[in-house]
Amino acid sequence: MKRIGMSILLWMAGTAGMVEAQPTNVGQWGATQPFPYVSVHACLLPNNKLIFWDYSGNARLWDPVTTAITTAAQPGRNTFCAGNSSFGDGRLFVPGGHIQNNVGLPSASYYDPVTDTWTSVPNMNAGRWYPSSTTLANGDILVTSGDDNMAVNDLPQVLQAGNNTWRDLTAARLGLPLFPRAFLAPNGKVFFATSTSRYLDTAGAGAWSTVGNTIFSGHDNYGSACMDQSGKVYWFGGGDPPTATSERIDLNAATPQWGAVASMPQARRQNNATILPDGRFLVTGGSSSGGFNTEDGPKAAMLYDPTANTWATLAIESDYRGYHSIAVLLADGRVLSCGGDNHANGQVFSPPYLFNGARPTISSAPATVNYGDTFFVGTADATGITKVTWTRLGSLTHAQNWDQRINVLSFAQAAGGLNVTAPSSANSTPPGYYLLWILNGAGVPSQASFVRIGGSAPPPPPPSPPVAPSNLTAKTSGKRGVGLSWTDNSSNETGFKIDRGTDGVTFSQIAAVAANVTSYKNNGLTSGVTYYYRVRATSGAGDSAYSNVASADAR
């Protein structure tokens, strides 16, 4: 009887909490799914697959519909601690990578989800480990910060999407925090929400201007920042020990400055902030204790309403998600929360809006639109729609989603659907793919449609260097001469370079011949000496690998 009585008392004491804990109020976490690797980086692709990779750059694809995990093409380098953001045509750009802690790779490449291939672009000026990558209004991508060799790379560079070449902002050298939180601002400049916040004008050689300081200086230490539909940037958490404070700055104000907003229900660092279709922010994971990656247990999701400036505490996740965790908005309105050191698994969260009644449906939407276009969205639920938004596909790592943003779109009812107007400015809507949502009066979003605004066809890949020549032979020829011949295996070389040495190890170039020439005579040598040769083809795209080494005596 005592045990039963205690159970009744516990039930009675928890009744109010049980009512509050219904999915309509706190949402619901799904089952935990094992992953083959910890998902340190994750990006939603236009084909509705999520690409993720781990500490070694092992790339995999996760299907949100079937939950199947398959192997993607591999990047060919360690893309751990690289940047990631998307071109306007949906290719995923990944600059930098990992040699060792605080020593980055200068390499950069992009992943094409249509062909499942990686393509390299020319190297950056130096290595970058923890760089930020920001898509600009014209579709180019700004890369900033990142450690080269135990020191930050202070040269901002812009990859020009039309020809895969770098433009250096030589007048804007500045040491920045690693992975600085950067946003394309309404004025077309890039806003850096660092403790000393600045604008970077990417025109010409670049120029910095100071905006102001955050109230709490520790947000850069693994807090999460994001931008709402009206050009306001928010900071949530960060610091060591972590803070519960949140801040906001309005980039459309005449003199933007940081101001406090409602604090989170719990202090967090290494948390992830996700913009939802209704414009609210979901904050998941993180540590509430001090220390770099404190395993202090699973955390409740937290929901911030920027209009009401209020927080709600939602359902508790099953796993701790700290350092190296991610959270991505999916096209069905759920959020995948995944990874964190020692947590090679994922869990999908259904926000409360998915339990508030039937979902409106989109029957048709265009695949592409232009800035300022009015376009038709087919839906049988047009009369009940109160809000239309779109959110840019997420691309994140290390407690920051670099690509996500939201626009509220104007619309009007039409026969069989809605006439929706796309944003007119690329400053508020950088080119790329967005998830288009329609929401009813209960705040329930539809399944999203993928829509691309701006962007262009990808440029042709950089030309490949020629193929190495083969079958190099060397024969004594005449007095103190050696004759060479080889097989030409390329059709794109502009010539051949010929190297010579006397020990078979050390070589130097002695001559060059034109394209399609496959022989050379080296005269005036020292009698009795053995000479070693190798040949490589060359073109504007670079040099080929070397041929085999061949040798002969001069007589």
* 117 close to 74: Cβ distance less than 8 angstroms: no
Residue 456 has a pLDDT of 54
Q: Which residues is 519 bridged to in the sheet?
A: 485
The H or E element spanning position 4 is helix 2-20
Residue 461 has a pLDDT of 62
Question: What is the residue type of 47?
Answer: N
* 346 close to 390: Cβ distance less than 8 angstroms: no
* Whether residue 241 has a cis bond before it, omega within 30° of 0: yes
Kindly state the average pLDDT of the residues 40-54.
98
Residue 120 has a pLDDT of 95
Residues 6 or more apart whose Cβ sits within 8 Å of residue 366: 375, 376, 451
Asked which of 23-32, 312-321, 477-486, 494-503 is least confident by mean pLDDT, the reply is 477-486
Q: Where are the alpha helices (DSSP H) in 212-364?
A: none
Comparing 434 with 478, the larger pLDDT belongs to 434
Rounded-to-integer distance, Cα 280 and Cα 307, Å = 8
Residue 19 has pLDDT above 50, yes or no: no
Give the up-direction half-sphere exposure of residue 339: CA atoms within 13 A in the CB hemisphere. Answer: 24
Rounded-to-integer distance, Cα 487 and Cα 468, Å = 9
* 463 close to 514: Cβ distance less than 8 angstroms: no
Rounded-to-integer distance, Cα 535 and Cα 482, Å = 14
Kindly state the average pLDDT of the residues 381-402.
97
Write down the domain spans for the chain.
26-355, 368-391+401-453, 470-553
Summarize pLDDT for 124-135 with one digit per residue, the tens. 999 999 999 999
From the list 447, 469, 439, the residue with the least C-alpha distance to 536 is 469
Residue 462 has a pLDDT of 65
* 165 close to 182: Cβ distance less than 8 angstroms: no
Kindly state the average pLDDT of the residues 189-196.
98
Rounded-to-integer distance, Cα 98 and Cα 88, Å = 26
Q: Does pTM top 0.85 for this prediction?
A: no
Handedness of CA 283, 243, 133, 234 (dihedral sign): positive
Rounded-to-integer distance, Cα 495 and Cα 219, Å = 55
CATH number (3.30.70.260, 3.30.70.3000, 3.40.50.300, 2.130.10.80) of 26-355 reads: 2.130.10.80
Residue 540: which pLDDT band, with cuts at 50, 70 and 90?
A: confident
* 274 close to 329: Cβ distance less than 8 angstroms: yes
Residue 468 has a pLDDT of 92
* Intrachain domains 26-355 and 368-391+401-453 with the same fold: no
Kindly state the average pLDDT of the residues 40-44.
98
Rounded-to-integer distance, Cα 211 and Cα 191, Å = 9
Residue 541: which pLDDT band, with cuts at 50, 70 and 90?
A: confident
Residue 9 has a pLDDT of 31
Mean of pLDDT over the chain: 93
Summarize pLDDT for 62-101 with one digit per residue, the tens. 999 999 999 999 999 999 999 999 999 999 999 999 999 9
Residue 460 has a pLDDT of 56
The class (CATH top level) of 368-391+401-453 is: mainly beta
Handedness of CA 21, 246, 282, 299 (dihedral sign): negative
Kindly state the average pLDDT of the residues 442-449.
98
DSSP 170: G
Kindly state the average pLDDT of the residues 174-191.
97
Q: Where are the alpha helices (DSSP H) in 397-540?
A: none
Residues 6 or more apart whose Cβ sits within 8 Å of residue 409: 388, 389, 390, 420, 421, 422, 423
Residues 6 or more apart whose Cβ sits within 8 Å of residue 34: 344, 345
Residue 231 has a pLDDT of 96
Rounded-to-integer distance, Cα 128 and Cα 310, Å = 38
Residue 293: which pLDDT band, with cuts at 50, 70 and 90?
A: confident
The H or E element spanning position 8 is helix 2-20
The pair phi, psi for residue 316, each rounded to 5°, is -90, 130
Neighbour count for residue 175 (Cβ, 10 Å): 9
Residue 16 has a pLDDT of 37
Residue 177 has pLDDT above 60, yes or no: yes
Q: What is the residue whose two structure tokens read 């080929």? A: 544
Residue 20: which pLDDT band, with cuts at 50, 70 and 90?
A: low
Residues in the chain: 555
Kindly state the average pLDDT of the residues 267-275.
98
Q: What is the residue whose two structure tokens read 């070389």? A: 493
Residue 7 has pLDDT above 80, yes or no: no
Residue 2 has pLDDT above 90, yes or no: no
Kindly state the average pLDDT of the residues 121-126.
96
Topology (CATH) of 470-553: Immunoglobulin-like (2.60.40)
Kindly state the average pLDDT of the residues 245-255.
97
